[in-house]
Structure 1
């Protein structure tokens, strides 16, 4: 399953990128985020692998993030491997003007096991969650002093 999302952020590109790159901000805009633990590699470089933990309702979701490209603002692409779900997210940022930034993503999901059924029956739920993260990031950035 492939789809894209986008949002316009009322902030300069430089501010958006600074806040996006700072891992300590994840909990401020990714609902359910618990922790990130570097497994190998170096922040700011392709090849970085991290264990990400999220709490969604009563479930704990653990995934392995691997950075494929870190060339911001043009491209930040990572893979996310969780139980029965693998996805690739490419994040792109561009200045619309000096105070407005376009943030858009390209998403690809691959499912195994029971998650194949969820992917077939509820594809909109994945796109909706991706858009929620973009909207929450927009709100976070616009409210940062």
Structure 2
């Protein structure tokens, strides 16, 4: 399953990247995030791995992030793996002008087991969640 979503943020690209590139800020726009723990590699660089722990409703979800590409301020790509899900997330940042930035998120999900059934039954729920995170990120950045 693949899809793309984007949002325009009323801040310069330098500020958007500064806030995006700090894992301490994740909790402000991903409210279900309980912890972010660096595991290996140079933090934020290709090959680096981190463990993310989320509370989503009644479920505890632990996933492993692996940085695939870091070409900021233009692109940050990572894989996010948990039971039955491999998510390849490509984040692209483009200046619209000196005061606005377009944030585009290209998502690819590879599902197995029970999650494959969920993806087939509710494909829109994945994009809805991505759109929610983009909106929350926009609100966080614009509040700074």
With the length of structure 1 as denominator, give the TM-score of the two structures.
0.97
Identify the residue that residue 109 of structure 1 maps to in structure 2: 109
Q: Report the Cα distance in structure 2 between the residues aligned to 1:5 and 1:48, rounded to whole angstroms.
A: 26
* Structure 1 gaps, min length 5: none
Cα-to-partner distance string for 1:7-51 (whole Å, 9 max, x where unaligned): 000000000000000111000001201111111011231011001
Q: Report the Cα distance in structure 1 between the residues aligned to 2:17 and 2:89, rounded to whole angstroms.
A: 16
Q: Report the Cα distance in structure 2 between the residues aligned to 1:45 and 1:61, rounded to whole angstroms.
A: 24
Q: Aligned residue pairs: how many?
A: 144
Q: Report the Cα distance in structure 1 between the residues aligned to 2:71 and 2:104, rounded to whole angstroms.
A: 15
With the length of structure 2 as denominator, give the TM-score of the two structures.
0.98
Q: Report the Cα distance in structure 2 between the residues aligned to 1:117 and 1:44, rounded to whole angstroms.
A: 33
Identify the residue that residue 47 of structure 2 maps to in structure 1: 47
* SS of 1:115 mapped into structure 2: helix
Q: Report the Cα distance in structure 2 between the residues aligned to 1:69 and 1:75, rounded to whole angstroms.
A: 7
**Moved runs in structure 1, 4+ residues, more than 2 A?**
none
1:133 aligns with 2:130: no
Identify the residue that residue 90 of structure 1 maps to in structure 2: 90
Q: Report the Cα distance in structure 1 between the residues aligned to 2:98 and 2:75, rounded to whole angstroms.
A: 20
1:30 aligns with 2:30: yes
State the shift of 1:55 in Å: 0.4
* Structure 2 gaps, min length 5: none
